[in-house]
Amino acid sequence: MDVENTKIENVVEKINLLYKVSQERELTIEEKELQGKLRKRYLDNVKRNFRSQLDGIELKNGKKEWWKLGVSVKKLIDDLNLEVLVEGQDDVEISVNDINRPGLQLAGFYNYFAPDRIQVIGKAEWSFLDYMQIELRKKRVKKYFSFDINCLIIARGLEPHPEFIKEAKKHNIWFLRSNLVTTQFISKTNIYLSDKLAPETRLHGVLVDVSGIGILITGESGIGKSEVALELIKRGHRLVTDDAVDIKEIDGQLIGTSPKITIGMLEVRGIGIIDVTTLYGLSAVVQEKEVNLVMNFEHWKDDNDYDRLGIDNEYMNVLGVDVKKLTVPIRPGRNIAVIIEAAAVNYRYTLMSKITPVDVIENRMNDLNGI
């Protein structure tokens, strides 16, 4: 079999087939060699794709971080289903998550005007222009288009005044139209831009959904993160991503997703890459999850003073957001999957109750002592 020239989809299919065979019988020497070649072919493809995705990423504090520079107007048109009235420059991008309704500008007031925002004309602005005398309207529209505007969108499917078409063509500015009501369009666009322009980082770890709580498992390579994730999947919990976790900060929340090429994939040392959706069903994988808790795995150290009461408050800062962090010492015999399940349930309990187990014990001791 020519592994090097095999399509990557067929490589994944054959890896999964060999995994199923290994569950029924021991692989032959030839099958093990083929499994190794297929795994190397897949990982090489993953690395190539990762490198192409990470072009221009800035290294900060040992982590790979980047901020999306903007959303192209052409992508905005496709994603929001906008009609093009006047086509502008190809390389125009939206980099500000704000929208401006230019009523004040069309009235002649330009203090604090932000032309880099998306400009939206609704029924109020349109009616104001329609009420205006033609010569004055031409003057106001000409002044408005003298600023460096990224794009202008007219809502409600309104028919634009001819002065707008003329000036947009003259200045080569995108002029678009939406059939949505103005407030609905603005709300939809704000949500869209919040997602597309959110600061983002990629961390090494595994993100799982355990009882509705998003848990980011971190730790050095080979410590057992993926194996624990596999055990959690068998227990009915869900995988978000393995090895590389893409995290966006949206309105103070950290949303974790998987790189596109590794969605539903889990690498287990000694077995290879597992297609979780194929082996455990589509319900075993979720596309995104808020990161609520970080659990850092480290090898057990006898001289380390680990938290035994649950009173230590340690946090991990990700994109300016502090996330509660638990350090889990690893050694043979510990059922880590059960510990993670307990941590998820305990985290949910702390959100609903201000009384900790330590408080309960203190109350009981006070009762015994007659205090």
DSSP string for residues in 12-32: HHHHHHHHHHHHHSPPPHHHH
CA–CA dist 238, 255 (Å, integer): 15
Q: Are residues 99 and 248 in the same domain?
A: no
Separation of alpha carbons 291 and 289, rounded Å: 6
Whether 317 and 205 map to the same domain: the answer is yes
Q: Are 371 and 250 in a shared domain?
A: yes
Per-residue pLDDT of the chain (371 residues; tens, 9 = 90+): 554 555 656 666 776 676 677 767 777 877 777 777 766 666 666 555 544 444 444 434 444 444 445 889 999 999 999 999 999 998 888 988 889 999 999 999 999 899 999 999 999 999 999 999 999 999 999 999 999 899 999 999 999 999 999 999 999 999 999 999 999 999 999 989 988 888 888 888 999 999 999 999 998 888 888 899 999 999 999 999 998 899 998 888 899 999 888 889 988 877 888 899 888 988 999 999 999 999 998 887 766 766 665 666 788 898 888 999 988 888 877 888 999 999 999 888 888 877 777 677 777 777 777 66
Same domain, 145 and 229: no
Claim to verify: residue 303 and residue 242 sit in the same structural domain: yes
> How confident is the model at residue 67, as a pLDDT?
44
Q: Give the per-residue pLDDT at 79.
A: 93
Task: Give the CATH number for residue 261.
Answer: 3.40.50.300
Note whether 279 and 355 are same-domain residues.
yes
Residue ending a domain, choose from 167, 195, 223: 195
Cα–Cα distance, 242 to 257 (Å, whole number):
10
Tell me if 137 is assigned to some domain: yes
Cα-based distances in Å from 104 to 130, 131, 266: 15, 15, 55
d(CA 174, CA 76): 11
Residues 4 and 31 in one domain: yes
pLDDT of residue 306: 65
In the three-class reduction of DSSP (H, G, I as helix; E, B as strand; rest coil), residue 188 is classed as helix
Q: Which residues are catalytic?
A: 204, 225, 243, 308
Same-domain check for residues 156 and 208: no
Q: Does the residue 63 lie in any domain?
A: no
- Please tell me whether residues 301 and 365 are part of one structural domain: yes
Domain identity same for 188 and 213: no
Q: Are residues 339 and 206 in the same domain?
A: yes
For the residues of 205-249, what is the DSSP string, one character each? EEEEEETTEEEEEE-STTSSHHHHHHHHHHTT-EEEEEEEEEEEE
Domain end (from 180, 195, 210): 195
Domains held by the chain: number: 3
pLDDT at site 8: 57
Domain hosting residue 136, numbered range: 71-195
Within a domain: residue 58?
Answer: no
Q: What is the pLDDT, as a whole number, of residue 173?
A: 94
Residue 53: predicted pLDDT: 47
Together in a domain, 269 and 296: yes
Q: Of 263, 316, 308, whose CA–CA distance to 286 is shortest?
A: 263
Q: Are 340 and 292 in contact (CB under 8 A)?
A: no
